Amino acid sequence: MSFKKKTNLLNLGTHLDLVDGTPAHIEVSLPLSSLDREIFVVTDIMFQSESIPSNPGPAELSEIRASVNKTDEGILFINDPNCVGSMLARVESNAADSQVATQSAEPSQATTGSNRDFVSVIATPNFILSGSWTTTAGGAANRSVFVRVTGFRAQADSSVYAALIAEEINAF
C-alpha cells in the first residue's frame, strides 16, 4: 500500500451512552482532507466500559458489546472488513447462582505505529462507534463504553485512495 505519513500519532477518543436493550451509535469526525487524498491509518484501538453489576438472579445475562466501524452503524465483529475493532464484556449467572465474568477486545495486541504495522485504514472522514447494553431482566441503569483510536494521517496515491474509498462505500 502506497501512502506517505503526514503526522505523528494522534489519539482520538469518544464514548457512547447506552440504554438497556437499545442499540446506539455515534459518528466521530476525522481531521482528513479528501482533496489531498488523506487517510487515517489506525495503529491501535483500546476499549473500556463501565462495570457490569452482578446479576440479581440465576440464569441471567448482562452484556456490553461495541465496535468501531468505518461506515456501518451496526455492531460488527472483527471478521467484517468494515470493523476496525470490537469488544465484549459480559456477566453470566447460571442456575447454581454462580457468576462468570468475561471481557475481550480485538485486536488485542499493540502495534509499533510504523507505516508497515497498522490495524486498519479509514479513508472516509469519520468512523462510527456502535454499541449495545442488554440485560435479561431489562430496565438496568445506563452504561457507557469508551474508545481511544490511535493513528496518523497519511496521504495516499490516487489509485490507493480510490480503492479505499470504493471499498468503504461498497461495504455497506
Q: Encode 114-170 in three state secondary structure.
A: CCCCCCEEECCCEEEEEEEEEECCCCCCCEEEEEEEEEEEEEECHHHHHHHHHHHHH
Considering the chain, what is the average pLDDT of its residues? 90
Domain enclosing residue 38, as ranges? 3-170
Q: Is the pLDDT of residue 171 over 70?
A: no
Please name the residues in contact with 34: beta carbons below 8 A apart, sequence gap of 6 or more. Answer: 125
Q: Is the pLDDT of residue 21 over 60?
A: yes
The more confidently predicted of residues 133 and 171 is 133
Q: Is the pLDDT of residue 148 over 70?
A: yes
Q: How many domains would you assign to the chain?
A: 1
Residue 89 Cα distances to 5, 41, 53, 56, 160, angstroms:
35, 27, 11, 17, 36
Q: What is the pLDDT of residues 1-10, one digit of tens each?
A: 678 999 999 9
Q: What single-letter amino acid sits at 156?
A: A
CATH of residue 42's domain is 2.60.120
Q: Is the pLDDT of residue 153 over 80?
A: yes
Does the bond joining 31 to the residue before it have cis omega, within 30 degrees of 0? Answer: no
Q: What is the pLDDT of residues 38-47, one digit of tens each?
A: 999 999 999 9
Task: Give the pLDDT confidence score for residue 1 in this predicted structure.
Answer: 61
Q: Residue holding cell 476499549? A: 47
Q: What is the pLDDT of residues 95-118, one digit of tens each?
A: 776 778 888 888 887 777 766 788
Segment 26-42 mean pLDDT:
94
